[in-house]
Structure 1
Amino acid sequence: MNVTGQCQCGAIHYQIKGELLATLMCYCTECHKVSAGYGTMTVLIDQHDFHLTKGALKVWQRSSDSGNINRAYFCGDCGNRIYHQNPNKPDIIRLKTGTLANSANYTPKAHLWLKSAPDWVLIPKNTLTFQTQPLLADLLALIKER
């Protein structure tokens, strides 16, 4: 698979060469802030499959509710988030699908943090749902089973 993407202003360009592991929709309160809406959609990929082809990313980090560190990689010009990564699990990148060239082509396989989702959110039938954040290994195993 060869997928491309960029930030909002075009200063950052990237390419993904490899398999997308999963597509997720997250409604946690931090994703509310990132999106200035109700959540974000993310594609999980192997870090070795991500290749920055233009620009340089800035990094900001915070602690998550679980106690993990969450690093956000973003464009220093427009502020657009490109991906998140846990430094304790650096092999997986959580890429923001809105930055992908064909972002409308991705459908979430799981919806996370439903306890923070607005009441009006409709989840398609036969989609995995979680009230909070499942362990990554468990989540990937459940998605693979489907």
Structure 2
Amino acid sequence: MEQLPPVYCCHCLDCQTWSGSAFAEQGVVREDAISATGPIVDYRFTSPSGSESHQRLCGTCHTRLWNTNSARPGIAVVRAGTLDASDGLQPKLHIWVKRKQPWVVLAGDVPAFEESTSAAEFVAILSR
């Protein structure tokens, strides 16, 4: 990936569990923009909505790298902390803040949503 993607933070309980942290910081990119070297494991499962999720993990350390979902063809969600220049990322929005840990303080100038937001608003904010 040549350019850092726009990122958001999700504070839902699933993201807390999957990341092993207080929230997940994720970037949205075209699936064909991703390249990785080394062994990649593809963990697949069917979500409650019926879509198929593909979680890509490092085959050596099992760090979750990115995922795709049949409900969003051609789009990938990259774990922002796995990017080489992750220290240059600034989240553009926070979702599921009603589930955030009480000690997490959000910047007042970054949009925050109690739950999720509409797909159109999500894309508009990330595109700014």
Interval of TM-score (by shorter of Structure 1 and Structure 2): 0.7 to 0.9
Q: Report 1:89-104 matches (<5 A).
A: 89-104=72-87
Maintained 8 Å contact 2:56/2:66: yes
Q: Which has the higher strand share?
A: 1
Change (3 A) 1:98 1:112: same
Verify: 1:117 aligned to 2:100, yes or no: yes
Deviations 1:74-98 (A, max 9, x none): 0122110001211221221110111
Structure 2: gaps (5+ residues):
none
Q: TM-score, normalised by structure 1?
A: 0.76
Counterpart for residue 49 of structure 1: 33
Aligned residues: 128
Identity %: 23
Deviations 1:114-136 (A, max 9, x none): 12111221111121112222243
Q: 1: distance between equivalents of 2:49 and 2:11?
A: 15
Q: TM-score, normalised by structure 2?
A: 0.85
Maintained 8 Å contact 2:7/2:126: no
Verify: 1:80 aligned to 2:63, yes or no: yes
Instruction: Name segments (4+ residues, structure 1) moved above 6 Å.
Output: none
Segment drifting more, 128-137 vs 39-48? 128-137
